[in-house]
A = this chain, B = another copy of it.
Amino acid sequence: MAKRRGFLYPSFDIYGGAAGFYDYGPLGAALKLNIENTWRRFYVLGEGFGEIFCPAVAPEEVFIASGHVKEFTDFVVECKQCGNPFRADHLIEEKGFKLEHKSKEAMDKIIADAKIRCLTCGGELGEAHPVNLMFNTKIGVGKSKNAYLRPETAQGMFLNFSFLYRHFRERLPFGAVQIGKGYRNEISPRQGLIRLREFSMAEAEVFFDPQDKRHPKFAHMKSVKATLVPATTRDPIEMALGDALSQGIMKNEALAYYVALTHQFLTSVGIDNKRLRFRQHEKNEMAHYANDCWDAEVMLEKLGWIEIVGIADRSAYDLSSHMKMSGVDLTAMRKYDAPRTVEKIVVKPKMKELGQKYKKDAGEIKKALENADVGSGKSDVGSGMSEAGIEVEVGGNKMTIPREFYEVAKVQETVYGERFVPHVIEPSYGIDRIFYSAMDHAFSRTKSEDGEEYTVLRLAPQVAPVKVGIFPLMCKDGLDNIAEEIDQKLRAAGIECQYDDSGSIGRRYARMDEIGTPWCVTVDFDTLKDGTVTVRDRDTKEQGRVKIDELTGLFRSKLGA
């Protein structure tokens, strides 16, 4: 149905296709775009976050710092005979074995013990070894730069942290979001839209002061109810997020707020609340950067429970790593209510004496002395200072500089605040999976008037690709011209329509039901008399007559636009 009706096409089909890639056809692209725009209404208009766009190609430094060069791997086993590669954990689970720990040793043992062989030729399999999942490329020619296609959009927000912090006038919390492509060179993808090599994601990175993970708007959300599956009990329980927080199931307001917001967003694009739950990650399944993580999971007809959103507390991991790797300051300032005066110890090197004794090293020793850890005003002995003098490192050598080469003084300094590395809460949405889930949950069967069974896609009107089907009862007496005018008028008002004049009205209703169009307008002979048309509702099948002039307003208000 998805292919026949123009929702999805297999990519590169005329060349035999390529696993892990899908094309969105005209209806699919419209549905996907409507989901993304609904997300923008929540996160950009609603939360006031800044949307940015960063390139999908990025130099390797970015992914060394983010940990992806080292950690973004899957274990692969290759057939010794035909060379075909398999993702080890998937292969083992497919064969019906349970894998508690995804270690090389555990996987090699199961494959050997159970004598699992190549799925293609039956050959013997080699040992499991990690393979990086990023697509690799090079920027420039000649002395080119190694680069990767990003596996997530998040790094763009971290790299721009300082620009964004200034844009938001140096106040926390603030958020930056990005909707864009991510890439993952899967070993052997086989689940269609659920496991793509090129996919769309919508990610928000919300920067918090680690000492204050309250959310300013949590009061609006505390009565939102969702089904939670805590890691402690593993039992699903429906509860208000305010209660989850007070009972300690949610670690902080920020996490609880984004679980609630995600619940609101997903149900607004048509995910069925009864087939939606939020599951907390177990300690050993968390990504290398995460501190706590809740996944939104949906129940799908053929695939069972599938993750579609991850809401992670990434702590200070990302900004700290980029600070270390780039040497650039990515801290924020926690302002004091009033400026404070603090006493500080400063070391004043005696240059003349230093020069005489240490010659060409004197300059470096001076710098090292000035930066030495000599304690605060309260104690004049820091870890770097002892009775013998100050320990410094110059040109890789440690040495102790005796007291005669410097003076120690106490000075008063005005301090306005202290610097810290912000923590990040990240709600990360898999758009293709949400698309697939919205289709899956909208799918239903109904009977036509003459008893024939057919598909109705009960998509939420806000995301339906076509909002209104427009039919002339017959192509005569100008009914078709009136219908075409209505089509043009609604399009000009930004409402997606589809004109259809072929087949019986029942057949045309069925065609619109099948692609999820919420309303249909029929121009008939009464239209010529009184200027009204029939408006039919997809779900209730009710029909009513409406003046042509009132159609734009009617559909706009139904769409909440």
Chain A residues with a Cβ under 8 A of chain B: 3, 6, 9, 11-15, 18, 20-26, 28-30, 32-33, 41, 45-46, 48, 50-59, 61-62, 76, 78, 83-85, 131, 135-143, 145, 149, 156, 159-160, 162-164, 167, 176, 181, 183, 185, 187-188, 197-198, 322, 325-326, 328, 330, 491-492, 494, 496, 561
Contact = CB atoms under 8 A, between A and B. Distances in A.
A149 B163 contact: no
26 contacts: A14-B162, A15-B61, A18-B145, A20-B139, A21-B55, A23-B53, A23-B156, A25-B160, A25-B164, A26-B51, A26-B52, A29-B51, A30-B51, A45-B492, A55-B198, A57-B135, A57-B183, A83-B143, A131-B141, A135-B137, A135-B138, A136-B138, A140-B185, A140-B187, A141-B185, A494-B561
Given A53-B32, A137-B149, A163 B3 contact: yes
B183 A84 contact: no
B23 A51 contact: no
Contacts of A176: 26
A23, A28, A325, A326 — most chain B CB neighbours (10 Å): A23
B160 A23 contact: yes
A203 to B, nearest CB: 14
Contacts of A32: 53
Given A24-B52, A136-B138, A140-B85, A160 B15 contact: no
A142 B59 CA distance: 24
A32 B179 CA distance: 13
Contacts of A78: 142
A32 B325 CA distance: 32
Nearest to A133: B141
A340 B494 CA distance: 44
Contacts of A46: 491-492
A375 B369 CA distance: 97
Contacts of A22: 55
Contacts of A21: 55, 57
B141 A12 contact: no
A14 B326 contact: yes
A85 B141 contact: yes
Q: How many copies does the complex hold?
A: 2
Contacts of A326: 14-15
A58 B12 contact: yes
Given A78-B142, A176-B26, A159 B51 contact: no
Given A29-B52, A142-B85, A494-B45, A6 B61 contact: no
Contacts of A15: 59, 61-62, 159, 325-326
Given A15-B62, A78-B142, A84-B143, A167 B26 contact: yes
Contacts of A24: 52-54
Nearest to A176: B26
A34 to B, nearest CB: 12
Nearest to A162: B14
A83 B185 contact: no
Nearest to A145: B18
Nearest to A178: B29
A23 B54 contact: yes
Contacts of A156: 23
Contacts of A29: 50-53
Contacts of A45: 491-492, 494, 496
B494 A6 contact: no
Given A85-B140, A142-B84, A198-B57, A14 B159 contact: yes
A159 B183 CA distance: 22
B197 A139 contact: yes
A326 to B, nearest CB: 4
Contact of A139 (B6, B85, B137, B185): B185
Contacts of A23: 52-55, 156, 159-160
A8 B474 CA distance: 54
Given A12-B62, A25-B163, A18 B131 contact: no
B140 A137 contact: no
A18 B139 contact: yes
A330 B13 CA distance: 12
A181 B25 contact: no
Nearest to A180: B181
Nearest to A24: B53
By Cβ-Cβ distance, the 5 closest A-B pairs, closest first, are: A26-B50, A24-B53, A14-B326, A85-B142, A14-B328
Given A6-B50, A141-B185, 8 more contacts: A3-B163, A6-B163, A14-B159, A23-B156, A23-B160, A26-B176, A57-B135, A57-B197
